[in-house]
Amino acid sequence: MSGSGRPRTSSFAEPQGASGAAAASVGTAAVVGSNTGKSGVSQASANNSSACANFKLARDSGKVTTVVATPGQGPDRPHEVSYNDIKVIGNGSFGVVYQARLIDSQEWVAIKKVLQDKRFKNRELQIMRKLDHCNIVRLRYFFYCSGEKKDEVYLNLVLDYVPETVYRVARHFSKAKTIIPIIYVKVYMYQLFRSLAYIHSQGVCHRDIKPQNLLVDPESAVLKLCDFGSAKQLVRGEPNVSYICSRYYRAPELIFGATDYTSTIDIWSAGCVLAELLMGQPIFPGDSGVDQLVEIIKVLGTPTREQIREMNPNYTEFKFPQIKAHPWTKVFKPRTPPEAIALCSRLLEYTPVSRLSPLQACAHSFFDELRQPATRLPSGRELPPLFNFTTAELMIQPQLNSTLIPPHARAQTSASTDGSEGSVQPGSTLTNST
């Protein structure tokens, strides 16, 4: 998030510990690998050796730190970047996240500092450098610095700072014993599906979709997907680890130990997030994989042999207790919109290929209200940009474009292109301004 002046003080509290560390993704996003070789990393870290030292002096917020950093996108043209007002905003097994202010622009950024193994490129960095989307936190710069131990090098990712997470917003309403307004559920989930459509079209699977990794600006309601530390470019035929994704949001094929899964695991996780926002609590809580599976079976019923085969062929002979599916209408509270329940049921499918694609989810009737020109946020503000699709996005599933682009956005686009309604020129975007 950009802006001058002090960042807004949030009214949402984040618990410390494991979940607090995860939500330190307040700006934690994927990092992308550079072409820098082993010697290049060493030299770069030596040049920025004072940066890591200054992080330790974070209490001296006025101290200016200057580093030689490489832009997150575009050519590798390192240049000096200065920042101050450094403070820790989160930490975990991955490393530490700091907040800082860029001297030149006075914009707030988040700096994710992780230990770098010089033998390998950082997968998070490699992925982040190729991503460019309005609903994905942006990698502005990256730089290396030396650690305390000999040959210890840290990679620092300079990312957009966004003040809130969906986790904290939902927790705020839960503590107040009220349900999050359905318009926010629609706006947040729609933007999440847009981000997933984009990364999946790039062959990238996030593998850790959860409320803590969904950053939101509480005023504009803009959502940005962050923390690509578990993300991977999935290649058909290449095995992947099954112990991925956070508890409560793991797709059943992962619980079954599948290693040939696809990006549809992100769709299952997104379905869990949607259900959680509607219910005010996780839909499939569990302390272990077995617990998790039991909770899933309580709702979806016992998977058929064919469904098990689709998740992991090695488990087809396994004997499961026969439990009937619980009607979706009884899973949710009585006043839950039927369209929301219908969407959930199309996301939380045992068979991976039966789950909706991200853009199919965006086109679902649950989001029709967002396509109405008069729809506003509870504050009276206009909705965030929802229809500024790039040409590349419109090529993912073009048969959906007539649904995805509402008439009022289509009409505006026609005035700025060649005059034919709904036409899109290469490189152009569509906006949802009226």
What are the φ/ψ torsions at residue 141 (nearest 5 degrees)?
-145, 170
**DSSP state, residue 376:** B
| Residue 121 marked as a ligand binder | no
Q: Which residues contact 199 (CB under 8 A, 6 or more apart)?
A: 131, 133, 136, 205, 206, 225, 231, 263
Q: CA-CA-CA-CA torsion for 313, 317, 321, 326, nearest 10 degrees?
A: 30
Catalytic residue from among 85, 160, 208, 227? 208
Question: Among 297, 415, 279, 399, which Cα is nearest to 344's?
Answer: 279
Q: What is d(CA 228, CA 161) in angstroms, rounded to the nearest whole number?
A: 15
Tally of CB atoms within 10 A around 211: 26
Question: Among 285, 270, 295, which Cα is nearest to 346's?
Answer: 270
State the first-to-last Cα distance of the chain, in angstroms, to the nearest integer: 24
Angle of helix 38-47 relative to helix 49-56, nearest 10 degrees? 50
User: Is the CB of residue 273 less than 8 Å from the CB of residue 249?
Assistant: yes
Q: CA-CA-CA-CA torsion for 61, 66, 70, 72, nearest 10 degrees?
A: 20
In the annotation, is 208 catalytic?
A: yes
CA distances from 322 to 77, 167, 212, 251, 301 (A): 61, 34, 34, 20, 8
Give the residue numbers of the binding site: 113
Give the residue numbers of the binding site for ATP: 113
Which residues carry out catalysis?
208
